[in-house]
Amino acid sequence: MREREERYADLVKIARLVSWCIDRNLIVRESLEHIQERLGKRARCYFLENGELAITCWTGEHRDDLAGSKRCLRESIVWEVFKRGVAVNLTERSSTEGYQHTLGEKVKIKAIMPLRYLNGLTQQEKKFGVVVVDSGKEQIPISREDFEYLQVVGDLIGEAVGKAELVDQLISSYERRDEMVKDVTHYFRNRLTAIGGFVRRIGRLSQGGSLKHYAEIVSHEVEDLEKEVSRLEEMWETGADRKAVARWKARLRTRETEWHQ
């Protein structure tokens, strides 16, 4: 039981981070570091930029020079997974036959998780990147259990980035006193609800114990954020000073600073 709790403890940490963080780069960097620490494998993240997938963050040793936003080849299986939107766990070298490799190492054994979220305003799925995890030249397959873990991390990153973009829209909309501000808060609340669902899923995976207790703590933090959204809705209804929104944004930034300490 204790061993199982320790295996899922990092998921609680990631869930806690994404429940309040509005910096997508921090979210991805911390998530990749947890992946490397837990699985002992290297990881890299591609973000969609100007119609191209570019490596923006990575952990672990890579022979290739990943600095300078290395572009993903459109003929690679990574790009194919991004388009399809379905995670894959490649455990056989023959799985990548017919595809080109972006990195010179040509690692064929890896897991690829697409990153996406549902746009609350348009109700359309937005694909924005992929996470790739492998063991480098050792080419050790990823287990079914670890692949499930990676999919949960990918889903959490997707929801967090979607929430972060909604926060930006939320603040911009208030500053402009836009008509859509109520819709933005509604969908922001939905993202928090989705993250709460992932926390409960983690609790089930842990099968009780102290990890379940930590998951409940994260759940309470999500509830606190929902209360913050309710306060914002009240401010819009009463025409409260815009400085209140600035203070709310500052509180989120303060949490990011505390996370680094």
Summarised one tens digit per residue, pLDDT across range 139-163 is 899 999 999 989 988 998 888 888 8
Residue partners of 98: CB distance under 8 A and separation at least 6? none
Alpha carbon distance 127, 71 (integer Å): 17
Q: Give the containing element (helix H, strand E) for 167.
A: helix 144-176
Say which residue, 124 or 45, is predicted with more confidence: 45
Query: What is the torsion angle, in degrees rounded to the nearest 10, for the CA atoms of residue 203, residue 146, residue 25 and residue 99?
Result: -150
pLDDT of residue 54: 92
pLDDT of residue 81: 96
Return the CA Rg of the chain. Answer: 19
Residue partners of 231: CB distance under 8 A and separation at least 6? 248
Q: Does the pLDDT value for residue 74 go beyond 90?
A: yes
**Three-state DSSP class for residue 190:** helix
Residue partners of 11: CB distance under 8 A and separation at least 6? 149, 152, 153, 156, 202, 205
pLDDT of residue 179: 56
Q: Does the pLDDT value for residue 88 go beyond 90?
A: yes
Task: Write down the domain spans for the chain.
Answer: 2-260
pLDDT of residue 6: 55
* Least confident stretch, 78-87, 135-144, 158-167: 158-167
**Three-state DSSP class for residue 8:** helix
Say which residue, 123 or 206, is predicted with more confidence: 123
Confirm whether pTM is higher than 0.85.
Answer: no
Q: Does the pLDDT value for residue 24 go beyond 60?
A: yes
Q: What share of the chain has pLDDT > 90, as a percent?
A: 26
Say which residue, 219 or 11, is predicted with more confidence: 219
pLDDT of residue 111: 96
Q: pLDDT confidence of 112, banded at 50, 70, 90?
A: very high
Say which residue, 82 or 204, is predicted with more confidence: 82
Alpha carbon distance 137, 3 (integer Å): 29
Q: Does the pLDDT value for residue 239 go beyond 60?
A: no
Q: pLDDT confidence of 227, banded at 50, 70, 90?
A: confident
Which CATH superfamily, name and number, covers 2-260? GAF domain (3.30.450.40)
Kindly state the average pLDDT of the residues 176-201. 70
Kindly state the average pLDDT of the residues 164-170. 77
Q: Does the pLDDT value for residue 52 go beyond 90?
A: yes
- 173 near 184, Cβ under 8 Å? yes
Return the bridge partners of 126, or none: 117
